[in-house]
Chains A and B, each alone.
Chain A
Amino acid sequence: MKTLLLLSWKNVWRNRTRSFALMLAITLGIAAGLIMFGLMAGMILQRFEGLVQNQLAHIQIHENNYLSEQENSLIIQDLYQIKPILDTISSLEGYAFRTISNGMIASGYYSSGIKIMGLDKKEEASISRFPENITDGTYLNDSIRNPIVISQRLAKKLRVQIGGRLVLTFQDLDGNITSSAFRVSSLYRTSNANFDDANVMVKRDDLQQLLGNNEAFHQVAILLTDHTKAAEVAMALDLKLPNSEVRSWESLSPELRILVEQGGFIMYVFMIIILLGLAFGILNTMLMAVFERIQELGMLMSLGMQKAKIASMIILETIFIAIIGGVVGIGLGILITKSFETKGLDLSGFADALAEFGYEAIIYPELGTEDIVITLLLVFATSILSAIIPALRAVQLNPAEAVRK
């Protein structure tokens, strides 16, 4: 075995140019694959965290039928049961009670349908990093009366600035239309244009007062320490809260679930395409190496080297090349990915286009150890598989023929 390893290793270096070319191809393929892996994983993660932390959270509780009917009157009835139950969840990060109303927002120039989120700043702080999206002004400024936070996009359409006056119109809990004036306390901008167009934030107390009930809540948003536990926790809560509907992020945002589930799958499809290309290159190169050495292989067989050993020799040679190319490629991939991990890959030039799809302008690639290990194993497997044909070719030789000049 040692002899075989040595012989294969030396054979790797007999046609340096060719071996280097193949290694380089493997290196570049793997590095490109990993960088793409990292970028996609990063984009997906950012999208996920963005949605979760802006508003979605991991689990939401609503009154039964609220999600389908969106009626303001469907306020949470299990209110007094909820808090103690939530406090028993071991993976609980935080929760916030929210009051919500659909309504109209209007300035002198423009009006539009809108979702009004009544938020409590302190409760929100435990589950959301929404204030990071504030670009101007102070988030739900306590020193002004009826503060409202709207997006930059909406402000443009409404032609208002900080301090500007807006009128919100919606139904109170008794079904009467009510209107009230709000003052723009700050502007925000998320990476999701649709969200920006449709959501404004006011203080929960202000909204409850206008609705006519200071215990009117429509939603409890819950954040866990581990997003993968959401479905399980939601199910348990649902059983304990008869009047409420408890749903995890997977069912609240099927789009997000698909993104998370299929993102990984798509990455592997890309990886496999890259590996197929490599397999083809390896196959070709190693076949060439075998044909070039027909006489020598025939001589070895004549001398008494078993076919299995000759085949192993060719496969080992391929593995050496693939491992060198693969390891360097993984190193290069990690290096490049890591170099963007802190400062991010800045795609600001495409920020608006990305925002239309809900992605951020600066992508922070994410490369898990697992992905790296899997990539290495895939490269390994690919090299073995693509060496099989050349190896079989080598042992099909008839030694008597091969050595006849």
Chain B
Amino acid sequence: MPIIQTKKLYKIYNEDTIPVYALKDLNLDFEVGEFTTIVGPSGSGKTTLLNMIGGLDVPTRGSVLVDGTDISTLKKNQVINFRLHHIGFVFQSYNLIPVLTALENVSLIMELQNREKKEIRERAIHVLEEVGLADKLNSRPSELSGGQQQRVAVARALASRPKYVLADEPTANLDSKSAMNLLDIMARLNKDESMTFIFSTHDQRVIERARRVVTLVDGALYEDLKKEG
């Protein structure tokens, strides 16, 4: 069974004034272990789609099923808890808490999940090592480069072992070298931890690294390309 399914998904902004069809009749399945990118011109609905499958926003029509549960029917607090326990997020910016160190930032989610202290620390150090920041555990975000900050964000998203990780243009603010480095890390974690990644991007080189490319145009599915191997 797919881990995420969208069924006749619509998101319409300002439905009763001048409606904006941000998403139109999307029927998409995502499987465990995918490494998928959502692409399309600006305003095509990439962010909106990620927000829907991340439980950050509710569909106007249709549904989003995660492991068979329709998350749009959950109560507000339940959705927040659902996000906390099952979804990892990487945003384009404002990812990290400036007053916390890399290690504390990565630990935060697991702490909110009330996991055991020792487990949290070991896991946080482990994922920070995986993203190549073993020597930056105690650095504050302001002491890290943009690329390093995004790597911390990826580490945090993974640390709690969510069902899948969503990333909205994670490389948009990075130079191409850092962007490729981040992609390498994500690709490796996708394999090593068999973590499902769904990310949006405008960057052609990033698109090339994905194993599946979902293209949106004006909120509708334009192309769904699954690469072999």
**Structural contact, A14 and B98, CB atoms closer than 8 A:** yes
What is the bound-complex CA distance between A296 and B153, given in angstroms?
Answer: 13
Is A304's beta carbon under 8 Å from chain B?
yes
Please tell me which one of the listed residues B51, B85, B94 contacts residue A299 in the complex, with CB atoms under 8 A apart.
B94
Q: Does B129 contact A (CB under 8 A)?
A: no
Query: CB distance B89 to A302 under 8 Å?
Result: yes
Chain A 9-33 interface mask (CB, 8 Å, partner B; 1/0):
0110110000000000000000000
Residue of A7, A399, A405 near B56 (CB, 8 A) is A399
Distance, CA A403 to CA B96, complexed state (A): 12
Taking a contact as CB atoms under 8 Å apart, the answer to whether A306 and B80 are in contact is yes
- Whether a CB of chain B sits under 8 angstroms from the CB of A121 is no
Known A-B contacts A3-B108, A3-B112, A405-B93; A304 and B98 likewise in contact (beta carbons under 8 Å): no
Residues from 51 to 90 in B contacting A, C-beta threshold 8 Å = 51, 54, 56-57, 77, 80-85, 87, 89
| Contacting pair B83 A400 (CB below 8 A) | no
A400→B82 CA distance, assembly (Å): 15
Contacts A14-B98, A399-B56 given; indicate if A304 touches B93 (C-beta within 8 A). no
Least distance between B200 CB and chain A CB atoms (Å): 13
The A contact surface, by secondary structure, is helix
Tally of A interface residues using CB under 8 Å: 24
State the total of A-B contacts with C-beta under 8 angstroms: 63
Question: Counting CB contacts under 8 A, is A258 at the interface?
Answer: no
- Is the beta-carbon distance between A306 and B77 smaller than 8 angstroms? yes
Residue interface bits A144-158, CB-to-B below 8 A is 1, else 0: 000000000000000
Mark B101-112 against chain A: 1 for CB-CB distance below 8 A, else 0: 000000011011
Q: Which of A304, A307, A403 contacts B91 (CB 8 A)?
A: A403
Say whether B18 faces chain A, with CB atoms less than 8 Å apart.
no
Interchain CA distance A403-B56 in the complex, whole Å? 10
- Per the 8 Å Cβ criterion, residues 295-313 of A in contact with B are 295-296, 298-307, 309
B92 at the interface (CB under 8 A from A): yes
Residues of A within 8 A of B92 (CB): 405
- On chain B, the residues within 8 Å of A11 by CB distance are 99
Which parts of A270-319 form the interface with B (CB within 8 Å)?
A: 295-296, 298-307, 309
Contact status B84-A303, CB under 8 Å: yes
Q: Which residues of B contact A14 (CB under 8 A)?
A: 98-99
Task: Knowing A400-B51, A400-B57, A405-B92, say if A304 contacts B97 (CB, 8 Å).
Answer: no
Question: Given contacts A403-B94, A404-B47, are A302 and B54 in contact (CB under 8 A)?
Answer: yes
Q: For A299, list chain B residues within 8 Å (CB).
A: 91, 94-95
Q: In the assembled complex, which residues on chain A have CB atoms less than 8 Å from the CB atom of B81?
A: 304, 306
A3 to chain B, nearest CB (A): 4
The residue in B80, B89, B92 that gathers the most chain A C-beta atoms within 10 A of its C-beta is: B80
Nearest B residue (CB) for A300: B97
Provide the residues of chain B in CB contact with A305, threshold 8 Å: 80, 84, 112
Is there an interface contact between B97 and A7, defined as CB atoms closer than 8 Å? yes
> Residues of A contacting B89 with CB < 8 Å?
302-303
Residue from the list B57, B85, B94 in contact with A304, Cβ < 8 A: B85
B108 to A: closest C-beta gap in Å: 7
Decide yes or no whether B100 CB sits under 8 A from chain A.
yes
Write the chain A residue with the least CB distance to B57.
A400
* Contacts A302-B56, A305-B112; A7 near B80 (Cβ below 8 A): no
Instruction: Please give, as numbers and ranges, the residues of chain A lying within 8 Å of B108 by CB-CB distance.
Output: 3, 303
How many angstroms from the CA of A298 to the CA of B93 in the assembled complex? Answer: 12
Residues of A in contact with B (beta carbons under 8 Å apart): 3, 7, 10-11, 13-14, 295-296, 298-307, 309, 399-400, 403-405
Pairs of residues from A and B, 9 with the lowest C-beta to C-beta distance, nearest first: A304-B84, A295-B94, A10-B99, A304-B83, A400-B56, A3-B111, A400-B57, A400-B51, A14-B99
